Amino acid sequence: MQSGPVVHSEGSTESRRYEALLEMADLMVRHHTLPELYHEMAVGLRKVADFQFLNFSLYHPENKAMHLHFLEGEPATGFPKELPVWESATGW
């Protein structure tokens, strides 16, 4: 049985994921505008994940809806920019 911390090789997938997570946390405290933050998040996430588009949802309590912000790429045409909370996975 191994004792002590687990050491990851420099290029391991798990190590890269942890680095990306730390980078995302750092980005959130350094950026003051959402578009700038979203772009930087997409750049960082591309290091560990392949995606065609990426979105981030914010809850708007005044109309009880999730507003979708597309970080990178373009979703299929006709994709809504806002969904009622009960129709959104992020709203559940």
pLDDT in tens, 22-48: 888 888 788 778 778 878 888 888 888
Q: Which residues are paired to 82 by β-bridges?
A: 67
Query: Phi and psi at residue 84, in whole multiples of 5°?
Result: -60, 150
Q: Is the pLDDT of residue 72 over 70?
A: no
Q: For tokens 């591309």, name the residue.
A: 46
Q: Which residues are paired to 55 by β-bridges?
A: 70
Cα separation of 51 and 41, whole Å?
Answer: 13
The rounded mean pLDDT for the chain is 77
